[in-house]
Amino acid sequence: MEKPILVFQTDFTYKEGAVCSMYGVVKSVDRSLEIFDGTHEIPHFDTWSASYRLYQTMRFWPKGTIFVSVVDPGVGTSRRACVARTSDQYYVVTPDNGTLTHLKAYAGIDEVREIDETRNRLKSTEGTSVFHGRDLFGYCAARLASGIITYEEVGPAYSVEEIVAHPIIQPKVSPNRAEGIFEICDPNFGNLWTNIPLDVFLDNGFEYGDMIDMTICHGDRVMHHEKTLFAKSFGYVNKGETVIYTNELMRIAVATCMGNFRETWHVDYGYDWTVLFEKRV
């Protein structure tokens, strides 16, 4: 049988040797294991973004792939280290600190096990508690992928209901009106992605080709307002113009054609960044 692929994401960047050390541990366990990068550019300590990036990418990998997500501001404390098995048969090796939020809500988690550090921690570095990405998560993931341990041998199971999760805000949608938040950004291009599903948007009267009133607020303060086109892609507007479009996760999003919407209008994402779309009829 083929061994599972390992996919890593962290907030480590490549500025020093942390990523290299993690991969060295994996290869020391089993040289045949395949390692791929998700991203190592998650914003520092941002477990919400870690959760979203797992949700964004996981379904496009072969079943059985093991994801190692290390965004761990509580490293070395009493926060749990775990391996979760999703309902669609993927595994996530991660601190239980909010990183499983979106998978629990949208993919489902069938089981979660706390890593037994007496068996599944690198022994040669037991004097330090600040690099669990290398010493615990990477090492345990390699043992699981190589077949040295079974999933049951990761450690004791605990209730899925005990998984730490961020609140997920639902959009408010009615005919010709949709209000949501910007959940995340595309950091390279400055696009902002909402929590409004395309099918809900279309079912409430919005259509491609509509000119839509868009109001963006940070708390109670209006940060930007304009009337803009809802289109299938960026090229339906001129360079520098705003477009409302459907992103790759089938959510409503906002961009500047060949520009950076986030930087241009000094807007951002988070619970307190709301967006209102209104179709005037």
Q: What is the pLDDT of residues 67-110, one digit of tens each?
A: 999 999 999 999 999 999 999 999 999 999 999 999 999 999 99
Domains and CATH numbers, the chain: 6-162 (3.40.50.10790), 172-278 (2.40.30.90)
Once rounded to an integer, what is the mean pLDDT over residues 38-44?
98
Once rounded to an integer, what is the mean pLDDT over residues 25-33?
98
Please give the pLDDT value at position 66: 98
Please give the pLDDT value at position 184: 98
Cβ(3)–Cβ(30) below 8 Å = yes
**How confident is the model over 255-272, as pLDDT tens digits?**
999 999 999 999 999 999
**Across the strands, what pairs with 68?**
8, 93
Give me the helices (H) in the chain, please. 18-29, 47-57, 101-102, 117-120, 132, 139-146, 198-203, 261-264
What predicted TM-score, i.e. pTM, was given to this entire model? 0.95
Dist CA 83 CA 233 (whole Å):
38
Sequence-distant (6+) residues with CB within 8 A of 47 are: 71, 73, 97, 98, 99, 101, 166
Residue 254 has pLDDT above 90, yes or no: yes
Helix (H, G, I), strand (E, B) or coil at 23: helix
In DSSP notation, 215-273 reads EEEETTEEEEEEEEEE-SSGGGS-TT-EEEEE-TTSEEEEEETTS-HHHHTT---STTE
Largest CA distance in the chain: 68
Sequence-distant (6+) residues with CB within 8 A of 31 are: none
Residue 281 has pLDDT above 90, yes or no: no
Give, to the nearest 10 degrees, the angle between helix 139-146 and helix 18-29.
30
Q: How confident is the model at residue 32 (pLDDT cuts 50, 70, 90)?
A: very high
Please give the pLDDT value at position 162: 98
Mapped to the 3 state alphabet, what secondary structure does 81-98 carry?
A: EEEEEECCCCEEEEECCC
Write down the mean pLDDT value for the chain.
97
**How confident is the model over 105-148, as pLDDT tens digits?**
999 999 999 999 999 999 999 999 999 999 999 999 999 999 99
CA-nearest of 119, 18, 103 to 54 is: 103
Please give the pLDDT value at position 94: 98
Measure CA of the first residue to CA of the last residue in the chain; give whole Å. Answer: 59
Please give the pLDDT value at position 277: 98
Neighbours of 110 (CB within 10 A): 12
**Residue in the structure block whose two tokens are 């501001």:** 73
Residue 1 has pLDDT above 90, yes or no: no
